[in-house]
Every structure is written in structure tokens, then in C-alpha cells.
Structure 1
Amino acid sequence: MRLLGTLALSTLLLGSAVATPAYAGGQHPPGHGHGHHHAVAWDETVIDADQSFRGLDAVDRRTAWVAGGSATEGAPGRVFRTTDGGRSWDDVSPPGTEGLLFRDVEARSAREAVVLAIGPGDASRIYRTTDGGASWTAAFVNDDPAAFYDCLAFYPGGKRGLALSDPVDGKFRILSTQDSGRTWAVLPDAGMPDTSTEFGFAASGDCLVTAGRTAYFGSGGGASRVFRSDDHGLTWTATDSTIPAGDAAGVFGLAFRTPQQGIAVGGDFAAPADGVDAVAVTRHGRSWRNAGDLAHLGEDVAYLKGRGDRLVVTGESGDVKGTSVSTDGGRSWTQVSTNGYHALDCTRDGACWAAGGSGRVARLAR
């Protein structure tokens, strides 16, 4: 178990009236005001040290799914599920996934989930299960060598969903489903701006997200922008994210509290310790402005349900890892741990889950 800024996180999560400094590693300050604090820590488990987990979807405080790719070339990508709050994890991987890299999972329940494998050509695939991973259907196998899918997301209700590919013929490609992921079809690109110098990041599974009837995705490369669609992916408008662009830089993850109020996080994998301008926020979903700087990459971010503008952001790249918290909608951040993850998800019943490299998964205990 790795303690994660016990006092700072208890203040963040529980809304304590007593403000206390942040101390990483679970160290208590030498003295602080009176008040009641609940212990908070990441309960971390290594499921399979050969896997790097970048796909994560938590259903509730008991049920979560993670998906990853093997560090051993040609070895299978794997999918795991817990239904007991992370005390045990079951390998529910699809068969025949040698060499596949699972980077996103979207789960509706303990039984129904869709996972995305990334890569060029037929390495990009979507699998679907309705029986908790006992069996899987290959719902989509990419047959275009120019396409490379990065992430997927479903709208509320779970019937409609979108998947994002890097640009094909100069425009991001959007894949769509209207039957809960059973079948998928490429949408026309007439409503997509020119994006010939940009690409997406399959960093955390949250480069594409939905909020109500609105979808958003982030880019990097020649430009770092946030794209918005209000018609289920047919037309998109692009806005500068204010997060610096670069060969390995841009927007890595997005989260929305409402269809209009959201946050984008990112950075530069070539300079993972540089978190300057790595956060942007929007109040109306149509323009973005810089928010507080980070001391590490922002690979994924989540609002704490029912806790207003309280946020958690995490990231890891090589030796640089970190988790930070904000109580003011991202305007300022406190790093509460040098432990970080690729993916993060917080549920409506107050649980937060994380997943990362070396087969690590964690649940925020409080």
C-alpha cells in the first residue's frame, strides 16, 4: 500500500472544514488545527507485472475493469475485472490477443463491457462481452492500413458510441455504433476540420469522452486542440486547447462535470517533469484557457462526483510519476504523491480507481 497524501486527500474528498498542508507519503504535519480527518490511501495491487494498464472503467466502488498490453513482444494483451472492490481480480481476456495492446475499456456493468485494442491496420480492434468476459465477440476489426484507433466512448444510456482514429487522408476518422457496440461504421468526414498534422494519444482511454449529447476529443502533434461535436460525431468544431503541442505533446485526457464545464490535461512525454501549461479548463465547452500548472504529466483526470470543483489528476512516464489534487476546478494543484498512473476513474458512489504500468491497479480507500 502506498499512502497518498492522507491529509490533503481527506480534505479534498470529504470537504473537511480544516485546511491542512499536503504531505506526500502519508507523513503527518508536525501540528495542525483541530478537526476530524479520515485516513485516505491508495490500496495498490499488482495484477500482472508484465502488463501496462491504460484502459480503466470503474462501474462503482465494487466493480471495475482494466485493460492492457504486454511488455513482452508478441505476448497477449489482457483484460481483468474485479467485483469485490479490488480484493481479487479475474483474468477475463478475450482469446487470441497475442501482440494486441488494449488501451481503452468502457463498461456498463459487471457483465457488459467493450474493449479497444490500438495499432495500425488490423491491430485496431473492438471486442464486446455481455457475460462478464466469459465470452467475447470481435465487433470491429480495422481493415484500413492508414487508420490507427486511439480511444472510444459511449453516450449516456450506452447505445450510441464513438471511437477515434488518427487522421486518414488529412482528417481524424470517427467510428460510430448505435447498438451498444455490436456493430460499428465509419462516419463521413465532411464535418471534420483539416487535421493533417495532428494525432490522438492512446494514453489513458480518455482522449475521447462524452457529456450528455456532446462529445469531445483532444489532439497533439502539429496542434493541440479540443474538438467538439453535438450531433453524434458527424460535425466537429476545433478550438486551441492552450496546452503546448509537440511531437509527443498535447492533450492526453479529458473530463467533464457537465456538458459545458470540463478540463483537459496533457503535457509532453519527451519532458514528463514539465507540467507547465499542462491543464486547460472550459466553462461553456467552446473555448479553453490555461489553468494551474502541474509538476508531472497529466495523463488522466477525474471530477469527484458530488464534490463540486474537486479534481484528481495523475500521470506516469518513465521515472516521473505523480498524482495531484485541486479544490478549485483546476486553477491550482497540490501534488500529493510521487506515485502516478496512466488511467483514472471516479464513480458516482465516491470511489476512485487508477491503473498503470507494471500491472498496477489501485483503489482510493477512505
Structure 2
Amino acid sequence: MKLFIASFLLVVFTSCKPEATLKAKHISNVEIITLLEDSLLNVRALEIDANGFGSFASSNGEIGGISKNGFEEKTSLSFQLKHDTIVPNFRAVAVTNNAGFALGISSPALLYKINKDSLKLVYKENHPKAFYDSIDFWNDLEGIAIGDPTDDCLSIVITRDGGGSWEKLSCDDLPKAKDGEAAFAASDTNIKIVGDNTWVATGGKASRIMHSPDKGRTWTVYDTPIVQGKSTTGIYSIDFYDENNGFAIGGDYTKPNDTIANKIRTTDGGKTWQVVANAEGPGYRSCVQYVPNKQGQELVAVGFKGIDYSSDAGASWTHLSDASFYTIRLLNDSIAYAAGNGRISKLIFR
């Protein structure tokens, strides 16, 4: 236990000077450096702070960190969590300035808080339909986690005390879910926060965007034109560059080469969405992220079919690699970390 807490806190509390952002031209290729490789490793939950320190959690209850010794990354699994005999399937992590959080998917849904001196189970939900997908924080005190409906709305739990306690919102205060509407625990990118604004992407037979302008107190829902209608279709990942410009990607993971209506863009804060790169560009992808400091023009998407890049806000795409990843986080415009089935890697874009 001491080894686990020490390793995780190295990630949460250590700081150093960020690596310099390279003033590069448009990305044309990617170098992939494997940091951790294990045939039993399966990671969809990954977070990187501004200094390049990271945390990850696996489908087998493992927690780990990416730390640095000089310029050399040190990536390791630190601890495997168990709740009684249950090994959590972690698909989401979050890090504040004071603590780290790891969220398991299915019943009992388990949310752990890790701080300087302790590891604590702070939320547990026993329900046959419980399935949590993503977690994020507005600040060090206020955070949100989302999951599939257990009643007639999406499951949303909120903390206002730094993650010490969590309260599930009533369906009376949330938009009603449509038949077959849920969310995908594919890359921990169902939630995007910019300031007080929060966007949540749903998927399945209906795939929509929920928006809150006030840190989860009130909600509006908007339709999208992304492919939907089956349990495997819809939005798998969402990102916003600012309060107006956002992008979502997904498709149907059972038909990963299909490129019809699987990429959508908004310029009005999520109220309306337009299909882009229709019938071209990448097919199903599980994660999309804006490249920092590029005015919302550059995007990187990953999935088990490879890595793709856009320099024109998603209108066209370049396939960079067939390397398989589930999720990615960009440190700056040239360095990212990605995780998937069997490995965690550092990506250098050039």
C-alpha cells in the first residue's frame, strides 16, 4: 500500500519545468516510443498534467504513474486494487492538485480517492444497470462523473468537497434519456470542461450532447447528426478547444472502416453540429483531442485502427500510423502519451 500511494503521489504532487513546445509545421509523421508493455495490460484511463506527469488505471484494477528522472520517462504499475474479492475495471481517472481518482465501470461501481496519506472508497453504487464511463473536475473542489442510465436519465454524480463525497443527480433535474441512449467507456473522454461549461457525449441508439453552463447545476440536451441507431454507434469521444469550438468522433466499432457521419463539429458551443469529412478520413476512433495552441485547427484521433491528424478543424485527415491505441493526451503540439491494449507509449509528432 505504501508503494502504491507513494508512486501515485509522485505523479500528483511532483512538478518540474514543462518541456518546450516546438514551433513545428503541420504534423506529417509520428514516432512511437513504448514506455510500458505487458500483454495483460489494458488501459483506457490516462491523464497527463502540464508538466508531463501522468496517471493511468487499467481494466484489471491496476493504478500506475508516468514520472520523470531527468528526461527519461519511468512508467510502472504501482498497485492492484481490490474491493473484497472484486477487482475494479477502471476506465476513468482524474487528478486535481490535491488528489487522484480512479473510477470503475460496473456494479458495484467503485470510485476511489487517493491523497497524500490515504486511499479511500468515496462512492459505491450497487445497481444492476450501473456502468460509469468518465470523470473530470472543474477545480480542486468540484467534479463530475457520468455513466449509463439506471433510471430514465444518464447517471451523473457530483462532488463539491474535493471528492470526499459524491451525490447522484435526480432524473428530475436532468434531460430524459432516449431509448437505448447510454455512453461509451472507451477512452475517458465523454466529458469536456471549459471554465464552468460542461459537455457530456452520449451514444448508442441515440447520440446527443448534454451541456451545463454552471458546473452541473442545470442541463440542456442537443441532437447531433452522428451515425446512431444501434447500441454500438454514436459519439465515443468529445473535445472542445474553447467555449465555442468542439469536435466529436466515433462511429461503430463493429464496422471500424465505415466513415459515414462519424465525425462532427460545432462552432456555437454544442448547440448545432455538422458532419465533416463524410465518407473519408478515419473510420471508427475512440478518442479525439485538440492539439494545444493551434487555434482549434489541429486535431489528433486514435483508435484500434490507428492514429490520424487534421490541420483544418477536421475537414480532412492524414493517416499517420496503424498503431493501435484507445486513448491519448497531448502535452503540447509535439508530444503526447497514448494507451491501449498491451502498452503505454510516448508519441512524438513531427
TM-score (norm 2): 0.84
Give the root-mean-square deviation of aligned CA atoms: 2.2
Which moved further from structure 2: 276-285 or 89-98? 89-98
Are 1:357 and 2:345 matched, yes or no? no
Structure 1 residue matching 2:32: 3-state secondary structure: strand
Q: Is the CA contact (8 Å cut-off) linking 1:239 and 1:288 kept in structure 2?
A: no
Among residues 172, 175, 196, which one is paired with 1:190 in the alignment? 172
CA distance in 1: counterparts of 2:135 and 2:55, whole angstroms:
15
Q: Is the CA contact (8 Å cut-off) linking 2:337 and 2:344 kept in structure 1?
A: no
TM alignment of 1:22-41, pairs within 5 A: 22=28, 40-41=30-31
CA distance in 2: counterparts of 1:287 and 1:207, whole angstroms:
18
Structure 1 residue matching 2:74: 3-state secondary structure: coil
TM alignment of 1:1-366, pairs within 5 A: 14-16=23-25, 22=28, 40-70=30-60, 77-84=61-68, 87-93=73-79, 95-96=81-82, 98-108=86-96, 112-119=99-106, 121-122=107-108, 124-131=109-116, 135-155=118-138, 157-197=139-179, 198-245=181-228, 246-285=230-269, 286-292=271-277, 293-308=280-295, 309-316=297-304, 321-347=305-331, 351-364=335-348
Q: Structure 1 residue 365: deviation in Å?
A: 6.3
Q: Structure 1 residue 280: deviation in Å?
A: 0.8
Q: Is the CA contact (8 Å cut-off) linking 1:94 and 1:136 kept in structure 2?
A: no
Which moved further from structure 2: 290-299 or 345-354? 345-354
1:340/1:275 Cα in 2 relative to 1: closer, same or farther (>3 Å)? farther
Which structure 1 segments of 5+ residues have no match?
1-12, 27-39, 71-76
Q: Is the CA contact (8 Å cut-off) linking 1:326 and 1:332 kept in structure 2?
A: yes
CA distance in 1: counterparts of 2:241 and 2:253, whole angstroms:
27
Q: Is the CA contact (8 Å cut-off) linking 2:81 and 2:88 kept in structure 1?
A: no
Q: Structure 1 residue 337: deviation in Å?
A: 0.8
CA distance in 2: counterparts of 1:268 and 1:283, whole angstroms:
25
Aligned identity (percent) is 26
Q: 1:229-270: CA deviations, max 9, x gaps?
A: 113223322222221012201111111111221111111011
CA distance in 2: counterparts of 1:277 and 1:196, whole angstroms:
20
Amino acid of the structure 2 residue aligned with 1:231 = D
Q: Structure 1 residue 329: deviation in Å?
A: 1.0
Name the structure 2 match of 1:3: none
Q: What is the number of equivalent residue pairs in this alignment?
A: 319
Q: Structure 1 residue 207: deviation in Å?
A: 0.9
1:94/1:138 Cα in 2 relative to 1: closer, same or farther (>3 Å)? farther
Structure 1 residue matching 2:312: 3-state secondary structure: coil
TM-score (norm 1): 0.81
CA distance in 2: counterparts of 1:194 and 1:173, whole angstroms:
11
Amino acid of the structure 1 residue aligned with 2:152 = G
Q: Structure 1 residue 349: deviation in Å?
A: 8.0
1:166/1:210 Cα in 2 relative to 1: closer, same or farther (>3 Å)? same
Amino acid of the structure 1 residue aligned with 2:35 = T
Amino acid of the structure 2 residue aligned with 1:271 = K
